[in-house]
Amino acid sequence: MAVLFVQDSNWNVNKDGVVADGYDVVSYFDGTPKEGKPQFSSTYDGATFYFHDAESQKKFEETPGKYAPQYGGWCAYAMGDTGEKVVVNPKTFKITDGKLYLFYDRFGTNTLKPWEKDEKNLIKKSEINWQTRYQH
């Protein structure tokens, strides 16, 4: 996997500086990611998040850690496999134990598939890599 995107922040943001490519991170927990709107935005831990509506924005602002994607929104599989920050397709996701994980899914490679084959182990590896490499 050779797609890397290096930036100063630990958050994976798009060209507009928004996490999850502007998708409403609260909407993932309803099972269907919705595109967020700039008029419903919030800042958390130095990153900007967009929301589909005021209700999602309010939920996020009350408990942002509950909804923010794991590993700064970088590909969960890559974080566990190599410890690298790899961009994601915001429509490829999984909720496990109340946590949002996003995955790379481009050019015929969907990293959600190998993640699901070894999820428990990859979560452990991802946590270690994220903490030791990016949370200083």
Q: Please say if the pLDDT value at position 5 is more than 90.
A: no
Q: Which residues contact 4 (CB under 8 A, 6 or more apart)?
A: 84, 85, 86, 87
- The answer to whether residue 126 sits within a structural domain is yes
18 neighbors 11 (Cβ within 8 angstroms): no
Q: Is residue 86 part of a domain?
A: yes
Instruction: Determine the Cα–Cα distance for residues 100 and 36; give it in Å rounded to an integer.
Output: 16
83 shares its domain with 40: no
| CA pair distance 87, 133, nearest whole angstrom | 17
The whole-number average pLDDT for the span 8-32 is 94
Q: Which helix (H) or strand (E) holds 105?
A: strand 105-106
**Which one-letter DSSP state was computed for residue 100?**
E
Residues 17 and 53 in one domain: yes
Pair (102, 59) in one structural domain = no
d(CA 4, CA 30): 29
Asked if residue 108 and residue 57 are part of one domain, the reply reads no
111-129 pLDDT, tens per residue? Answer: 999 999 999 999 999 999 9
Number of folded domains that form the chain: 2
Degrees to nearest 5, angle at CA 9 with 109 and 99: 60
Same domain, 101 and 128: yes
Residue-wise pLDDT tens digits, 32-76: 999 999 999 999 999 999 999 999 999 999 999 999 999 999 999
